[in-house]
Amino acid sequence: MRPIVVIGSSNTDMVVGAEKIPVTGQTVLGGAFKMVQGGKGANQAVAAAKLGGNVYLIAKLGEDVFGEKSLVHFRKTGVKTEFVSRDTRNSSGVALICVDKNGQNIIIVAPGANGDLSKKDVLKAGSIIAKASCVVLQLEIPMKTVEFSIRLANKLKIPVILNPAPAKKIPNSILKLVDIINPNETETEIITGIKLKNEKDYKEAAAILRKKGVKTAIITLGSKGVYVDSTEFRGLVPAFKVKPVDTVAAGDAFTGGLAYGISNNMKLKEAVMFGNAVAAVSVTKAGAQTSMPRLGKVIKLINRS
């Protein structure tokens, strides 16, 4: 199986459950506290690896206990860590997360070593990138590193999946080199200026993304499903119906599942449906990387639906 190369962040998530998410200036009494591995890049790498993908992660950790725990977890889940480097100047990244009784969440990230992931770190993995089925990127690492990675993959003719989170404006000169972009509703609004209320809005926003040069636009809509605009398929792919426990990293689960589907030569619509199933299973369990499902559970959900 050709490699899936994920270039991105790795954090330790510190999660507190609460009846409701506090508003500005408010203190609420929380429930259980958990400390688990997270970060969008690491989440997506673990998601694809737990499904059985041949996954390499390019990331940077601090020389601290959080970094050690992350490395142990990556190896346990099957993520290859040859290109996960250590930073002696900065701590590992940390995310503070509050999850309410309905599974909704707010997240604050302290990037730490993620902010030092550089072009040199990416180039060290050039031989693996050249063999990849796809390169997966997010925006929790420096934008100059993201742009360099996209240009490198494009030069090597390797498909790029860009998950534009956290939401930022992205130059059209970069977007035109992206094969697949998969923003959520908030990220789509920031990139396109379209507030998503109905399928007409989904279609309009996706068309704007395509006009910016992206080959395929995939807008994730939570429980409403995913809207796809590509030369191969255009339309809404419904979500699988499950009872959510924790929506943390559902988007990362989708991205990992999508990358796995592409690496296994699935047609686009099939890969999107598969990604939907991975995300659906993930929200039935608490945590980020801990919620990423094995292949058997995903297939079981697909067969049951």
pLDDT in tens, 105-131: 888 888 999 999 999 999 999 999 999
Of the candidates 137, 136, 92, the one whose C-alpha atom is nearest the C-alpha of residue 116 is 92
171-184 pLDDT, tens per residue? 999 999 999 999 99
As a whole number of angstroms, the distance between CA 290 and CA 43 comes to: 9
Under CATH, which number does the domain 4-20+33-304 receive? 3.40.1190.20
What would the pLDDT profile of 23-63 be if each residue is shown by its tens digit? 999 999 999 898 889 899 999 999 999 999 999 999 999 99
- The pLDDT mean for the chain works out to 95
Q: List 4's β-bridge partners, or say none.
A: 55, 134
Q: What is the pLDDT of residue 305?
A: 82
Query: In the sheet that 93-99 helps form, which strands lie side by side, from edge to edge?
Result: 30-38, 11-18, 93-99, 105-110
**pLDDT 10s digits, 143-164:** 999 999 999 999 999 999 999 9
Which residue among 121, 179, 229, 252 is the active-site one?
Answer: 252
Q: What is the pLDDT of residue 178?
A: 98
Give the count of alpha carbons within 13 A of 226, CB side only: 32
- 252: annotated active-site residue: yes
